[in-house]
Amino acid sequence: MAHLIFDIGNTRSKMAIMEHGNMLEQMVMEDAPKVIANLCRRYNVDKAIASVVGHQPDFAKLLPEYLYACFHQLSYNSILPITMDYDTPQTLGMDRVASAVGARILCPEGALVIVDAGSCITVDLLDDNNCFRGGAILPGIQMRFRAMHDFTDALPQVALSPDERKGLVDTPITGNSTRTSLIAGVCNASLFEIEGFMHEYSKRYPNVKLFLTGGDAVFFANRLFFPNFANSDLMYIGLDKILELNVIV
């Protein structure tokens, strides 16, 4: 049986089909019950889970009745395969926890740092006792470019080209134009921040491993000096595991 996974983010909403921990299909979320019903029939879906950070959909209307009965929305009250040490779990974006669970499935032992590079960059620690410790939230690459444009009179709006985002073009350390100076500042600062976190975590956990996920994961994976594992499906892998623990059919 396959599982339907919803990722409702701040800027994008997606859904995916997972089976035995493997991604079968991923797509932009359709607010159309018929589309979802057809997808469920095609893959013989028997359970569903959602991570909601953005707007709350009405899943009772979106999902077929049989599937809504086997639906779980991730929250800090969900049963998890890891523990949490976080003072305000009710304010925690649980997508961060799902990604940590996904990383743990791929790497069963040791301390892990999970970097989700999207609209914001989150840096989270899962320690060697399997406890989610929280971490840091930083502005993402595009947010930094936009902030410098919006809060100044003269700086242009900059966006990385597809080749720049994929790491096929070197990031300058010294810009020789306004555009390349902005890229040098934003991109290198983001890289240095992640490397700085890893340097500090390495002092406490000498064998700590770095997992990268999110839209800009490839950008960082190709530029960081610290060894890393880039996997855009971390959260889906984690949600799939959490669903198994919370919905028994």
**What is the per-residue pLDDT for 169?**
85
**What is the per-residue pLDDT for 81?**
97
Q: Which CATH class is domain 1-73?
A: alpha beta
Confidence category of residue 59, pLDDT binned at 50, 70, 90: very high
Domain ranges of the chain: 1-73, 78-241
pLDDT of 11 strictly over 80: no
Confidence category of residue 52, pLDDT binned at 50, 70, 90: very high
**Percent of the chain scoring above 70 in pLDDT:** 100
CATH number of 78-241: 3.30.420.40
Q: pTM of the full predicted structure?
A: 0.93
pLDDT digits (tens, 9 = 90+) for 201-227: 999 999 999 999 998 999 999 888 888
pLDDT digits (tens, 9 = 90+) for 97-133: 999 999 999 999 999 999 999 999 999 999 999 999 9
SS (H, E, C) the chain: CEEEEEEECCCCEEEEEEECCEEEEEEECCCCHHHHHHHHHHHCEEEEEEEECCCCCCHHHHCCHHHHCCEEECCCCCCCCCEECCCCHHHCCHHHHHHHHHHHHHCCCCCEEEEEECCEEEEEEECCCCEEEEEEEEECHHHHHHHHHHCCCCCCCCCCCHHHHCCCCCCCCCCCCHHHHHHHHHHHHHHHHHHHHHHHHHHHCCCCEEEEECCCHHHHHCCCCCCEEECCCHHHHHHHHHHHHHCCC
Please determine whether the domains at 1-73 and 78-241 fall in the same fold group of CATH. Answer: yes
Enzyme catalytic residues? 95
pLDDT of 30 strictly over 80: no
